[in-house]
Amino acid sequence: MYGFEALTFNVHAGYLEAIVRGHRAGLLTAADYNNLCQCETLDDIKMHLSATEYGPYLQNEPSPLHTTTIVEKCTLKLVEDYKHMLCQATEPLSTFLEYITYGHMIDNVVLIVTGTLHERDVHELLEKCHPLGMFDSIATLAVAQNMRELYRLVLVDTPLAPYFSECITSEDLDDMNIEIMRNTLYKAYLEDFYRFCRKLGGATAEIMSDLLSFEADRRAVNITINSIGTELTRDDRKKLYSNFGLLYPYGHEELAICEDIDQVRGVMEKYPPYQSIFSKLSYGESQMLDKAFYEEEVKRLCLAFEQQFHYGVFFAYMRLREQEIRNLMWISECVAQNQKSRVHDSVVFIF
């Protein structure tokens, strides 16, 4: 039905698309970031943010401020925007919006399980969980000793249940198993989300396929780099890659046998969209790779707003807002620790 979305799209989703485009106009600009980078204290940051959409969330916070407070309040803004959109949404947009939170659910599950493994307090861990990834039985994750228990006691009633089919084993949970579990869950989640978007068809399928393919390829690169020098075999590594994306299937074959960052670079430079990302890095360097990927992602997310009558704008807005919160956290940490010289290292400008 590509090309005919304009006929019926506004009946159900026109109001929400207008809302999300309005929210997008409230994202911080390069001028805002330049002013924030000049701040000397966290109170200066609060004062500058008072003129933005974050103002009402920070206005009643007493001094001295902490970075965690700023991040918490900015995240609250994101959560309220999301909940408002979800309340107003009808099918299939409501399902699409729910898919966006599954990634946070996976991160929260991994955070609680890892924290419990290292004997951290459950209440302390719950405070660190992302509010968009909360579900009713999350606190009981602490009782699980292995994947099978984790699934049977807790996750069987959550939206993540179908993604667990590939990683149910009786092996005890340790750091390596947990990391494999995270990547297996993410693979199943991304493939499911991709199938759902393809089924929707039209501009949504076109734009979301590009955004999710980029996410799948980025994860494949990160898995490869993080597993270099570990006991993860080539076959195990390949099993963690998503079955779609620009690198699928031939790039995955080559990434699976890479032994160092320069071999990864050699593989990625064969793909023109990723050539520009790796050209920003010097040989043997992987520290700035995350920032280069974030910059490319932001460019693609901004392009999603250039087209109308599709659901990709909701995904793009949520991701851009999350990037903005990461930027604010970095700037606040640099100011709080008196490391102003490093403030530009990790800030990704959105506009």
The pLDDT tens digits for 31-64 are: 999 999 999 999 999 999 999 999 999 988 888 8
* Backbone phi, psi, residue 31, to 5°: -60, -40
Segment (H or E) for 109: helix 93-117
Length of the chain: 351
* Residue 170, pLDDT score: 61
* Residue 3, pLDDT score: 58
pTM across the whole model? 0.94
CA distance 249 to 304: 26
Q: What angle do CA 107, 109, 110 make, to 5 degrees?
A: 65
In Å, how far are 2, 96, 240, 246, 248 from 222, measured between CA atoms? 34, 26, 11, 15, 15
Burial label, 287 (beta-carbon count in 10 A; 0-12, 13-18, 19+): exposed
**pLDDT tens-digit profile of 60-75?**
888 888 999 999 999 9
Low-confidence stretches of the chain (pLDDT < 50) are: 1
Domain extents for the chain?
A: 5-17+80-310, 18-79+311-350
- Contacts of residue 277, defined as CB under 8 A and 6 or more positions apart, other chains included, come to 268, 289, 292, 293, 296
* Residue 1, pLDDT score: 45
Superfamily of segment(s) 18-79+311-350: ATP synthase (C/AC39) subunit, domain 3 (1.10.132.50)
Tokens 């809302």 identify what position? 19
